[in-house]
Structure 1
Amino acid sequence: MHDFDDIRSRDGGTPPREVLTPSSLNRLVRDLLEDALPLIWIEGELSNVARPASGHLYFTLKDSSAQVRCAMFRPKSGWLKFRPADGMHVLVRAKVGLYEPRGEFQLIAEHMEPAGEGALQREFEQLKARLDAEGLFDPARKRALPRYARRIGVITSATGAAIRDVLSVMARRWPLAQVDVLPVPVQGREAPPAIVQMLRKASASGRYDALLLTRGGGSLEDLWAFNDEQVARAIHASAVPVVSAVGHEIDFSIADFVADLRAPTPSAAAELLVPDAHALRRHLLQLQQRLVTLEQRRQQSRSQRLDHLLARLQAQRPQARLARDHERLAHLHRRLLGVQRESAQYRRMRMERLQARLLAQHPRQRLELARRRLQELSQRMRQSMERRLERDRLTLQQTGRALHAISPLATLDRGYAILFDADGKVLRSAQQATEGTPLRARLADGELPLTVASAPPKKSRAT
């Protein structure tokens, strides 16, 4: 590269700012592609499908005028719900990238689905969400099926396998039901209008107790007539209950959600619409047996009641009544004697209690009690006075000791003296005495007359 720059410089040309290598150019192109198209959906036809031992999936996606190489790496290639093959029309979600070893751009697939089914599935989900928001799927509006339907209208293809299964099951289970086949196309563009018209006609006729909308299994495209919005609204507006049995057990259609009852298969729908005659016969036999048993029990109960009434009638004869009255009289006589004995015993005990109370109220008894009470009170008063005197004596001693502790005389006993002037006032300061002033000194054992020999010097005040 340096030699090339030198040649360009010698030739008079302007050297480039940067010279790229194939690797750096590929990285630049890859970054530009990934930034411009981070994630896209692309639809086309599969070709050159290859799945090597590594588990990755390599294929080409093409249309009538172009093609692009694609790769789907593990584990996403193992999550596919179908087996990709050449010629299939698919919808792919992918990122745009660059395969640097060859300098070719390619798609790195993250998800793949059959194109037709994917679009139909999205349309199905959108319609389902909208009708659900309007309340067409509300369980509260669904009606119960009649227990014993007399007339049933089956809206389906007259030549399909579904009608044969339905008629076979109904004939076996409940031959009494009248089944009318209401033929309509169940696939293609003409199917939805025909189904709507037949639903309205059957509902308005007032002839049927229930309607069955059914067909056999198929792909999502085959069953698409039963995902039509007008068909759903016709089912919702039906005046009689509608049972939907579209496809196999794993298939679900909009008609299934709107109908009053969804059956997994046409045969299952027939079993839900009519009862089982054999089971009903067994049930009737059981009811008959229960009725016979109840009647036997009723007869037995009536027989027992008659026996009881006969016994009561025999008990009402005059001899029996006289015997019962005699027995009752003897019982009452025994009770009377017992009551008399109890009354006499009660009066005797009451008299003894009154006599004891009367003796307790005699004057001698009351005087004796009063004398004992007086002695007891006198003893208690004397003891109380002694305790009170003792408490007062102890209190007086404690008070005397306390007064002596704070008395000036106790202070004098320790060698101190109190000075009085001629007027008998206590001398509290040396400045109160002048020379020649007579004083009296009070000691613990007496007084001494004193005279001040010289006046004490006066204290000077600080300025």
Structure 2
Amino acid sequence: MNPSLFPSDKVFTVSELNEIIKEILEGTFPAITLEGEISNYRPNSSGHLYFNLKDSGSVISAVMFRYSAAYLDFIPKDGTKVQATGKLSVYGPQGKYQIVITKMTVAGEGAVLKMIEERKRRLSAEGLFDESRKRKLPLFPRTIGVVTSPTGAALRDILQITKRRNKCVSVIVFPTLVQGDGAAENIVQQIQNANNAKLCDVLIVGRGGGSLEDLLPFSEECVVRAISQSEIPVVSAV
């Protein structure tokens, strides 16, 4: 519906105006992708997600219904920058509009995944992931080395499970940064320290959960090469 078709002296009811706005917005934007920051995140017990998307100057209401939210591979929270794809919807009785989101990813995630896949193909071509390079795990390791954050939940889980499964196994922690600047180099150094010291039979390299960006240090080329060169069998626990 084109408002310019109406004479200038046309008097609309509120309902008529909202209906025109609804037709224009929903007809013009059958699908749209927005980038913004999540705010006022309000998950509902029904499984629907209600929140706002904002940037430095504006905000828009958003909803992601349960059947779409079920496919999310991250946990939304206030402050997370995302790319959200959906359609605009106008609720006529209140004259409000929102975006109904059908797909949402952490902003920049697509480029990061593409970079990781390219790195994987390149290193695979060098043979770094060949089965012949994999070292057999000892059947009954006496000492396990763990390269991880000394304060993280991952270490607590490893210690609890090890104690429950076999109290005779010793655990040596090689503390490292697990995210942020310098983390990859720190991980590499501790893998090398474990090999130089030869104090453990198997080495666990890992951390707890996090966003794709948080996990990036464990995908850095220097870490992959350090693991491939390790004489100690390495278990990835990321």
- TM (norm. structure 1) is 0.37
1:34-80 deviations in Å (ceiling 9; x for gaps): 4xxx3314221232747597x76543322342101223346435655
- SS at 2:203's partner residue? strand
Q: 1:188–1:225: 8 Å Cα contact kept in structure 2?
A: yes
Aligned counterpart, 1:44:
37
Counterpart residue number, 1:189: 181
Q: Look up the equivalent residue of 1:27 and give its one-letter code.
A: E
Local SS of the residue matching 1:219? coil
Q: Aligned pair count?
A: 218
In the TM superposition, what whole-angstrom CA distance separates every residue of 1:190-244 from its partner, at most 9, and x where no partner exists? Answer: 33212212333544x4846745133553434665542333211211223x13322
Provide the C-alpha distance between the structure 2 equivalents of 1:75 and 1:194, rounded to a whole number of angstroms.
41
Alpha-carbon distance, 1:142 to partner: 1.3
2:119 maps to 1:130: yes
Query: Which of 1 and 2 has higher RCO (CA within 8 Å, sep 6+)?
Result: 2
Matches of 1:188 and 1:67 in 2, distance apart? 30
One-letter code aligned to 1:68: I
CA contact (8 A) 2:89 2:100 kept: no
Report deviation, 1:110.
0.8
- For residue 235 of structure 2, what is the aligned residue in structure 1? 244
Structure 2 residues not aligned, in runs of 5+: 8-15
Cα distance in 2 for partners of 1:77, 1:167 equals: 36
* Structure 1 Cα separation of the partners of residues 205 and 236 of structure 2: 5
The equivalences for 1:264-413 within 5 A come to none
The reply to whether residue 18 of structure 1 matches residue 10 of structure 2 is no
Contact 2:148 2:206 in 1 (8 A): yes
**Counterpart of 2:168 in 1: which secondary structure?**
helix
Question: Secondary structure of the residue that 1:230 maps to in structure 2?
Answer: helix
> In the alignment, residue 172 of structure 1 is paired with which amino acid?
C
Which has the greater radius of gyration?
1
* Cα distance, 1:152 vs structure 2: 6.7
Deviation per CA, 1:288-313, whole angstroms, max 9, x where unpaired?
xxxxxxxxxxxxxxxxxxxxxxxxxx
> What SS class does the counterpart of residue 129 from structure 2 fall into?
coil
TM, length-normalised to structure 2: 0.63
**Partner residue of 1:140?**
132
What amino acid maps onto 1:19 in structure 2? F
- Say if 2:153 is the partner of 1:161: no
Specify the SS of the correspondent of 1:233.
Answer: helix
- The aligned residue for residue 97 of structure 1 is 88
Q: Give ranges in structure 1 of 5+ residues lacking alignment.
A: 1-16, 247-252, 254-463
For the 8 Å contact 1:156–1:163, the answer to whether it is kept is: no
Distance 1:162-1:224 versus aligned 2 partners, 3 A rule: farther
- Pair 1:172-2:172 in alignment: no
Aligned in 2, Cα 1:231/1:121: closer, same or farther, shift over 3 Å? Answer: farther
Kept in 1, the 8 Å contact 2:142–2:200? The answer is yes
Distance change in 2, residues 1:243/1:75 (3 Å): closer
Name the residue aligned to 1:226: 218
Aligned to 1:213: 204
Which position in structure 1 is the counterpart of 2:13? none
1:164–1:121 distance in 2 versus 1, CA, 3 Å: farther
Classify the secondary structure of the residue corresponding to 2:5: coil
Classify the secondary structure of the residue corresponding to 1:137.
coil
Change in CA separation of 1:197 and 1:46 when aligned onto 2, cut-off 3 Å? same
3-state DSSP of counterpart to 1:131 = helix
Counterparts of 2:41 and 2:149 in 1: how far apart (Å)? 41
- Separation in structure 2 between the aligned mates of residue 226 and residue 232 of structure 1, nearest angstrom: 8
Please tell me whether the aligned partners of residues 203 and 234 of structure 2 are also in contact (alpha carbons under 8 angstroms): yes
| 3-state SS, counterpart of residue 172 of structure 1 | coil
Higher relative helix content: 1
Per the alignment, residue 64 of structure 2 pairs with 72
Matching of residues 245-260 of structure 1 within 5 Å: 245-246=236-237, 253=238
Cα RMSD after superposing both structures: 4.5
The structure that is strand-richer by fraction is 2
Tell me which of 155, 176, 198 is aligned to 2:190. Answer: 198
Identity level (%): 28
